[in-house]
């Protein structure tokens, strides 16, 4: 007798791990438009990161400091090597360079206000310095970029430090782009371009090639500014040992090292996700280069290292410092503190076909939060005073969190944190950060298992 | 007019530049000569007052870089990036200029009597440049604004990805870069050219002997049909 109730079972619908939903949607998008995807933000895929490290803290073999009672310094001096006027910051957390053009005037002003309130620096970006930004930033770093949009010697002299940008972690080897929607009359005028065009920023500096020329270029900037200002060199993380060594040789006071999680205003998706190193893998080789050249924490001769790319909280800050950085820079996190991708705007994000937290079409200039836009109405939504206050709170929290961790490790200054204080949760992170796998003394590539 | 002379064999360039950056009120109207430049880099960079500096010989990289208001004459040849990012004033190279002459210059006038190397007027942002001789390849790459006059020939890829700058060439152009095309010279452009020829000491050169080049503006918006040109 046959069982009529038995039906041949069907397997459940199964998506391919290789051709996942996002991948398929991108194939369809490319097929329909014939142009690559451009977006803002940093790498979205999961990468080995600071979360893969843990602090050991103190116990019998190490002695902790009393929380809130015993001093734990957070300040940093940048640019001691050659500059007559080094920069002094109260916290090791700085604001990364983000262009006026990519960001609205009020957003730039808010960054300046927030940074100033907590005694740290902010940085200009592609497109030049705005009076709002200079006015509200006690310490302002002026970027000297390949495009030289808006670059002029008066602003160079007004800056507190100068950052020669060679690359960014999100797109090492790539130039910038700012699409027509954001080339407003003011942005166009500052960049000396026709209004509304899709603008490209070059990927190489126009008047120098290679490290020997860079040395002469840095010297020129020093001569123009009478050797007063620290000169930073910013690089995307690719070959950190060699690039840092060459930057030092060229005369940098400070090296800024940006990992692949680092945000961008607008870049091709393929570039953001597939070029460069995660910051975790880049810090130790960079520090090694400084050590080999005798400029690592060596008094007045020191070249300071600022790292960035996916810094989100005080633990990330402390881990970056423990691996050897002197300071960190934040971009994306600062924008979130100002109000970017905030859930209270969900209905408006939905109208743009996305959701709060995932919005990354910053190049389109329609940001409901008024931050990554040049639309005069949308940008009114940023109250520079309130947004600046939120940023100041956030930096203060991160600084205190870093202190909590440092005190637990028995350190009276964040700079006393060291790789010794860390272990890794994964073999990958252990190899990249060169700290032992938790519970072992094994560092792949360094010690025997 | 006072003339003060510095000998770079005896006085460090740092001191000379520092002095030239002094208070405009004390410097305006003064003339300076710099003896024995011997190819030093960054001579007379960052000037910002109404002075006339004459460099008696060859200068290295970035001579008169970021110049404002001042007049700088180089009685020899200039290294890479002469008058780079100049804002105003006049820089006159009596010999040849190396690569990237007048790069990103925003204003003022750069006169080069001899030839200029690769990438002359790269990313030009509004200045005027007159080259008495020929220019190397990739000149006026991404030139945004300003006027670029070449009495001799131009190398490969002239005006690649050019924006709104105007280029005038009297001789031959080896090849034009992407989105650069021949333009018909209108009355306004002819006047610009005539004035620049007069200002740079080429009074008897006829504007009619030049061909004008500029942007075809086909790359102003990213588009799939332009893919081959990016
Ligand atoms: C909106 C935006 C604009 C940016 N513009 C610039 C720029 O003009 N120049 C630059 O060197 N980096 C720029 N960056 C990169 C930042 O300076 C920094 O390297 C990066 O944001 C750090 O990583 P994080 O975003 O994960 O903190 C930009 C980043 C963002 C998010």
For residue range A113-162, list pLDDT tens digits in order.
Answer: 999 999 999 999 998 999 989 999 999 999 999 999 999 999 999 999 99
Q: Return the residue whose CA atom lies nearest to atom 29 of ligand 1.
A: A264
State pLDDT tens for residues A173-207: 998 878 888 888 988 899 998 888 888 888 999 99
Residue A15 CA to ligand 1 center (angstroms) comes to 35
- Quick check: A42 and A309 in contact, CB under 8 A? yes
> How many DSSP H helices and E strands does chain B contain?
3, 11
Ligand 1, atom nearest to A256 Cα: 19
Give strand pairing partners of A121.
A139
CA distance B59 to B84: 14
Residue B84 CB contacts under 8 Å (≥ 6 apart), including other chains: A206, A207, B62, B65, B66, B100, B102, B103, B104, B105
- Quick check: B136 and B120 in contact, CB under 8 A? yes
- Quick check: A352 and A384 in contact, CB under 8 A? no
Backbone angles phi, psi at A48, to 5 degrees: -55, 130
Q: How many domains does chain B have?
A: 1
Domain boundaries defined on chain A: 50-417
Minimal Cα–Cα distance from B230 to chain A, Å? 10
Contact between B42 and A192 using a beta-carbon 8 Å cutoff? no
Distance between alpha carbon A264 and the CA centroid of its chain, in Å? 9
Identify the pLDDT of residue B227.
54
CA distance B222 to A181: 12
Of B60, B123, B164, the CB nearest to A148: B123
Backbone angles phi, psi at B46, to 5 degrees: 65, 30
Low-confidence ranges of chain B (pLDDT < 50): none
- Ligand 1 pocket check: which of A98, A273, A279 to mutate, most ligand atoms within 8 Å of Cβ? A98
Q: Exposed, middle or buried by CB within 10 Å (0-12, 13-18, 19+), for A135?
A: exposed
Identify the pLDDT of residue B225.
60
Ligand 1 neighbourhood includes A278 CB (under 6 angstroms) = no
User: In terms of CA atoms, which chain A residue is nearest residue B222?
Assistant: A198
Asked if A77 reaches chain B (Cβ–Cβ under 8 Å), the answer is no
Residue A10 CA to ligand 1 center (angstroms) comes to 49
- Quick check: A100 and A124 in contact, CB under 8 A? yes
Asked if B15 reaches chain A (Cβ–Cβ under 8 Å), the answer is no
Quick one: residue B74, left, alpha or beta (phi over 0 = left, psi -120 to 50 = alpha)? beta
**Cβ-based contacts of A208 with chain B (< 8 Å):** 80-81, 100
Ligand 1 neighbourhood includes A43 CB (under 6 angstroms) = no
Query: How many CB atoms neighbour CB A211 within 10 A?
Result: 14
- Quick check: A136 and A116 in contact, CB under 8 A? yes
Question: Which CATH fold topology does A50-417 show?
Answer: TIM Barrel (3.20.20)
Q: Is B91 a member of any domain?
A: no
Identify the pLDDT of residue B105.
98
- Ligand 1 pocket check: which of A331, A334, A382, A391 to mutate, most ligand atoms within 8 Å of Cβ? A331
Q: Is B33 a member of any domain?
A: no
H-helix or E-strand containing B86?
none
**Cβ-based contacts of B48 with chain A (< 8 Å):** 153
- Ligand 1 pocket check: which of A39, A95, A97 to mutate, most ligand atoms within 8 Å of Cβ? A97
- Ligand 1 pocket check: which of A257, A260, A264 to mutate, most ligand atoms within 8 Å of Cβ? A264
Asked if A420 reaches chain B (Cβ–Cβ under 8 Å), the answer is no
DSSP A181: G
CA distance A107 to A109: 5
Asked if B62 reaches chain A (Cβ–Cβ under 8 Å), the answer is yes
Q: Is B16 a member of any domain?
A: no
Ligand 1 neighbourhood includes A168 CB (under 6 angstroms) = yes
Residues 119-178 of A with CB under 8 A from B: 147-148, 151-154, 156, 177
Query: How many CB atoms neighbour CB A109 within 10 A?
Result: 25
Residue B158 token pair: 């002239």
- Quick check: A263 and A40 in contact, CB under 8 A? yes
Q: Exposed, middle or buried by CB within 10 Å (0-12, 13-18, 19+), for A55?
A: middle
Residue A264 CA to ligand 1 center (angstroms) comes to 5
Q: Exposed, middle or buried by CB within 10 Å (0-12, 13-18, 19+), for A196?
A: middle
Low-confidence ranges of chain A (pLDDT < 70): 1-3
Residues in chain A, total: 449
Contact between B60 and A33 using a beta-carbon 8 Å cutoff? no
Interface test with A, best of B68, B84, B85 (most A CBs within 10 A): B85
Residue A42 CA to ligand 1 center (angstroms) comes to 9
CA distance B64 to B71: 9
Identify the pLDDT of residue A69.
79
User: In terms of CA atoms, which chain A residue is nearest residue B45?
Assistant: A224
Sign of CA dihedral A389, A393, A395, A399: positive
**Cβ-based contacts of B80 with chain A (< 8 Å):** 207-208, 213
Residues 107-166 of B with CB under 8 A from A: 119, 122-123, 125-126, 141-142, 144-145, 161, 163-164
- Quick check: B144 and B126 in contact, CB under 8 A? yes
- Round to the nearest angstrom and report the end-to-end CA distance of chain A: 64
**Cβ-based contacts of A227 with chain B (< 8 Å):** 14
Which residue range(s) make up the domain with B130?
115-230
pTM of the model: 0.96
Asked if A180 reaches chain B (Cβ–Cβ under 8 Å), the answer is yes
**Cβ-based contacts of A224 with chain B (< 8 Å):** 42, 45-46, 65-66
């Amino acid at each position: 007798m046959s069982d009529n109730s038995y039906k041949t079972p069907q397997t459940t619908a199964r998506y391919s791990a290789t051709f996942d939903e996002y991948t398929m949607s991108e194939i369809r998008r490319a097929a329909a438009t014939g142009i690559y995807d451009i977006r803002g933000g940093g790498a979205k895929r999961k990468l080995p990161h600071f979360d893969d490290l843990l602090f050991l803290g103190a116990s019998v073999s190490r002695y902790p400091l009393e929380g809130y009672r015993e001093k734990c310094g957070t300040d940093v001096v940048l640019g001691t090597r050659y500059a007559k006027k080094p920069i002094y910051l109260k916290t090791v957390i700085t604001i990364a360079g983000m262009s006026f053009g990519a960001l609205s005037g009020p957003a730039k002003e808010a960054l300046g206000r927030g940074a100033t309130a907590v005694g740290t620096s902010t940085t200009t970006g592609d497109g030049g310095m705005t009076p709002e930004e200079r006015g509200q930033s006690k310490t302002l770093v002026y970027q000297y970029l390949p495009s030289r949009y808006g670059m002029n010697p008066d602003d160079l002299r007004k800056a507190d430090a100068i950052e020669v940008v060679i690359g960014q972690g999100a797109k090492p080897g790539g130039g910038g782009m700012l699409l027509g929607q954001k080339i407003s009359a003011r942005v166009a005028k500052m960049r000396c371009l026709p209004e509304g065009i899709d603008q490209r920023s070059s990927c190489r500096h126009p008047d120098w090639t290679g490290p020997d020329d860079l040395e002469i270029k840095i010297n020129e900037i020093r001569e123009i500014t009478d050797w007063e200002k620290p000169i930073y060199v910013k690089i995307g993380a690719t070959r950190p040992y060699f690039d840092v060594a060459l930057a030092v040789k060229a005369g940098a006071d400070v090296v800024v090292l940006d990992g692949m999680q680092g945000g961008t205003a607008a870049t091709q998706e393929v570039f953001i996700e597939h070029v460069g190193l995660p910051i975790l893998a880049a810090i130790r080789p960079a520090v090694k280069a400084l050590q080999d050249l005798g400029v690592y924490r060596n008094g007045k001769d020191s070249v300071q290292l600022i790292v960035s790319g996916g810094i989100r909280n005080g633990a990330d800050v402390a881990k970056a410092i423990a691996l050897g950085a002197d300071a960190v820079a934040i971009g994306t996190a600062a924008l979130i503190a100002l109000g970017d991708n905030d859930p209270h705007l969900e209905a408006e994000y939905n109208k743009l076909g996305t959701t709060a937290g995932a919005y990354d079409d910053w190049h389109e200039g329609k940001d409901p939060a008024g931050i990554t836009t040049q639309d005069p109405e949308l940008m009114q939504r940023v109250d520079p005073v309130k947004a600046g206050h939120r940023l100041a709170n956030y930096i203060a929290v991160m600084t205190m969190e870093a202190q909590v961790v440092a005190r637990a490790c028995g350190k009276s200054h964040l700079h006393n944190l060291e790789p010794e204080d860390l272990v890794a949760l994964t073999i990958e992170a252990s190899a990249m950060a060169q700290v032992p796998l938790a519970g072992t003394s094994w560092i792949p590539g360094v010690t025997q298992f | 007019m006072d003339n003060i002379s510095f000998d770079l064999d005896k006085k460090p360039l740092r001191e000379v530049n520092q002095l030239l950056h002094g208070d405009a009120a004390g410097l305006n109207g003064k003339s300076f000569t710099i003896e024995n430049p011997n190819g030093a880099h960054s001579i007379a960079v960052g000037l910002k007052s109404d002075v006339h500096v004459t460099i008696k010989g060859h200068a290295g990289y970035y001579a008169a870089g970021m110049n404002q208001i001042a007049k700088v004459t180089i009685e020899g040849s200039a290294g890479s990036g002469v008058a780079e990012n100049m804002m105003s004033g006049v820089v006159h190279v009596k010999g040849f200029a190396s690569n990237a002459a007048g790069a990103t210059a925003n204003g003022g006038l750069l006169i080069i009597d001899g030839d200029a190397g690769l990438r002359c007027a790269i990313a030009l942002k509004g200045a005027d440049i007159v080259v008495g001789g020929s220019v190397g390849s990739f000149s006026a790459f991404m030139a945004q604004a300003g006027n670029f006059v070449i009495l001799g020939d131009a190398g490969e890829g002239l005006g690649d990805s050019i924006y709104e700058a105007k280029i005038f060439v009297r001789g031959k152009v080896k090849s034009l870069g992407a989105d650069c095309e021949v333009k018909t010279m209108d009355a306004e452009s002819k006047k610009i050219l005539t004035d620049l020829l007069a200002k740079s000491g080429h009074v008897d050169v006829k504007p009619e002997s030049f061909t004008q080049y500029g942007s075809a503006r086909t790359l102003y918006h990213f588009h799939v049909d332009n893919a081959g040109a990016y």
